[in-house]
């Protein structure tokens, strides 16, 4: 094999118009992926080429030499110091509005243009052809040639969380402009399609997580109600398998195969609708889901699941609004040290409490009868009750925890890590410390009523957050000393 075959070189261009810059990103990405797709298809149909085939991600680059302060009330849209900053970009058509917004703020705040050109990061062939359903990549050894001898494959050195974890080391003095590299984004987009059985294009800006199938049924009923209302602002409902309906009375075919984390989308034209993901049980699932959804840069995510009530004064069906988290889930300890506090976000807390009042028609002292605010403990052992309880119970008591689950702290911690506003409203489903274990037949009428209300509270909170200005929702509380300009 001799040499490397690449697309014709394209000179970098500068832009002071964000929409024009994104249009160029779309053009360059399309040319690169078409080049790879065409050559891959030819190699599969005919014979492998005698040269290596390579194409590169497009890149946006920005340079400023000024220390001038920008409006510091905004937590994004500007760099903190002079220098050169860059980001590789994938799927620019999927992120078009996000990119226009972020690039526009950068140009406006600094009064400097951005440069769009090709990066030196190869596009793995898996990601280039992944959106073409007519092409499948064979397993290693199934083709007549070794894939990595001809094409680039995913590279872990550019598929990691170094930027968001604060461990990124600039190369040649060029700092990061966005929280994720293109390969990291591509990896998560592929994982999302696999785990949720819906394409990333359907995901909305507001995400609800649950660990209970009942909420899926409630969510579909609400979606159908909204689609019957021409003034609701919602345009369609997407179920697993990318089945999409626009009529509230339209049937949904049953899924051929249930995915690991079935996900559903109540869409609005501008992407500001609501996505519901049933992530199942456990911190590993919670981390997996949030690791990948984070690359879509949602405006908020909330956990609306079930928990164990730890106080004797709680009843089954009571709500718990988390204002602190005891992290014993362990899945994020290497990415976000346990000594990092995960604060409650006022904007989310207020939206959730307001939503509880709206749905239950209770307020003030009466609201305290069915909802408590306090610490939620998240653990990684579902059957902790079967071991010596003295240690765990003592820690729970010392932390002042009022509820125990296996997902909430993980989701909140990953929200903190990825700069995605987060919150938690749980529903008490058992009280293991007081003899009320999660067993069949124990649900009271009150509990059933509260569960039906629970999802609606999450939806109402999201609708309230949707109307909040982005600069208020994406506050500085989630930003560190040296942040990327892009949200």
DSSP structure class, residue 145: S
385, pLDDT greater than 70: no
Whose tokens are 């014993």? That residue is 328
Alpha helices (H) along 46-132:
96-110, 125-129
Tens of pLDDT along 293-350? 999 999 999 999 999 888 988 888 899 999 999 999 999 999 999 999 999 999 999 9
If you count them, how many residues does the chain have?
487
Average pLDDT on 459-466 reads 96
Residue 154 confidence class, pLDDT cut points 50, 70, 90: confident
Tens of pLDDT along 63-90? 998 776 676 677 888 888 899 999 999 9
Going through 22-113 in order, the beta strands assigned E by DSSP cover: 52-53, 56-64, 83-88
Cα–Cα distance for residue pair 162/352, rounded to 1 Å: 32
CB atoms within 10 A of CB 470: 14
Nearest residue to 296 (alpha-carbon basis) of 178, 122, 457, 123: 178
Residues 212, 213, 214, 220, Cα dihedral to 10°: 130
3-state DSSP call for residue 371? strand
Residue 136 confidence class, pLDDT cut points 50, 70, 90: low
141, pLDDT greater than 60: no
Q: What stretch of H or E contains 429?
A: strand 422-430
Task: Read off the pTM.
Answer: 0.93
- 102-134: burial string, b at 16+ Cβ within 10 Å, e else: bbbbbbebbebbbbbbbbebbbbbbbbbbbeee
Cα–Cα distance for residue pair 312/428, rounded to 1 Å: 12
Contacts of 249 (CB under 8 A, 6+ apart): 224, 228
Q: Count Cα atoms within 13 angstroms, Cβ side, for 178.
A: 24
pLDDT for res 49: 83
Tens of pLDDT along 15-44? 999 999 999 999 999 999 999 999 988 888
Q: Is there a contact between 424 and 322 (Cβ–Cβ < 8 Å)?
A: yes
198, pLDDT greater than 90: yes
């Amino acid at each position: 094999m001799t040499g490397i075959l690449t697309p014709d070189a394209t000179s970098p261009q500068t832009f002071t118009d964000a929409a024009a810059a994104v249009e160029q990103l779309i053009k360059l990405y399309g040319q690169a992926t078409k080049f790879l797709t065409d050559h891959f298809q030819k190699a599969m149909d005919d014979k492998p080429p005698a040269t290596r085939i390579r194409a590169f991600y497009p890149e946006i680059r920005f340079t400023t030499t000024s220390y001038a302060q920008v409006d510091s009330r905004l937590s994004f849209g500007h760099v903190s110091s002079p220098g050169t900053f860059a980001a590789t970009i994938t799927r620019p058509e999927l992120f078009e509005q996000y990119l226009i917004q972020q690039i526009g703020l950068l140009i406006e705040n600094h009064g400097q243009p951005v440069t769009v050109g090709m990066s030196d990061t190869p596009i793995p062939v898996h990601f280039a052809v992944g959106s073409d359903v007519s092409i499948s990549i064979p397993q290693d050894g199934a083709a007549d040639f070794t894939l990595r001898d001809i094409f680039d494959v995913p590279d872990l050195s550019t598929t990691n969380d170094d930027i968001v974890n604060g461990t990124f080391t600039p190369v040649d003095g060029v700092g990061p402009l966005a929280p994720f590299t293109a390969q990291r984004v591509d990896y998560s987009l592929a994982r999302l399609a696999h785990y949720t059985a819906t394409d990333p294009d359907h995901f909305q800006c507001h995400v609800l997580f649950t660990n209970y199938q009942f909420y899926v049924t409630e969510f579909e009923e609400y979606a159908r109600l909204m689609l019957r209302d021409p003034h609701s602002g919602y345009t369609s409902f997407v179920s697993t398998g990318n089945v999409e309906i626009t009529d509230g009375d339209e049937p949904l075919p049953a899924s051929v195969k249930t995915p690991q984390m079935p996900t559903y989308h109540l869409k609005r034209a501008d992407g500001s609708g609501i996505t519901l993901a049933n992530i199942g049980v456990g911190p590993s699932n919670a981390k997996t889901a949030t690791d990948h959804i984070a690359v879509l840069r949602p405006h908020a995510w909330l956990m609306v699941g079930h928990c164990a009530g730890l106080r004797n004064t709680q009843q089954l069906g009571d709500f718990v609004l988390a204002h602190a988290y005891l992290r014993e889930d362990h899945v994020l300890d290497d990415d976000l040290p346990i000594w990092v506090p995960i604060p409650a976000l006022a904007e989310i807390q207020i939206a959730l409490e307001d939503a509880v009042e709206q749905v239950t028609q209770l307020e003030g002292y009466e609201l305290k009868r069915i909802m408590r605010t306090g610490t939620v403990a998240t653990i990684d052992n579902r059957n902790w009750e079967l071991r010596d309880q003295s240690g765990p119970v003592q820690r729970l008591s010392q932390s002042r925890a009022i509820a125990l689950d296996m997902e909430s702290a993980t989701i909140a911690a990953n929200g903190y890590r990825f700069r995605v506003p987060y919150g938690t409203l749980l529903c008490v489903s058992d009280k293991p410390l007081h003899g009320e274990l999660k067993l069949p037949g124990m649900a009271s009428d009150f509990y059933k009523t509260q569960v039906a209300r629970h999802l609606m509270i999450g939806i109402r909170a999201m609708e309230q957050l949707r109307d909040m200005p982005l600069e208020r929702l994406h506050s500085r509380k989630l930003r560190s000393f040296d942040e990327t300009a892009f949200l």
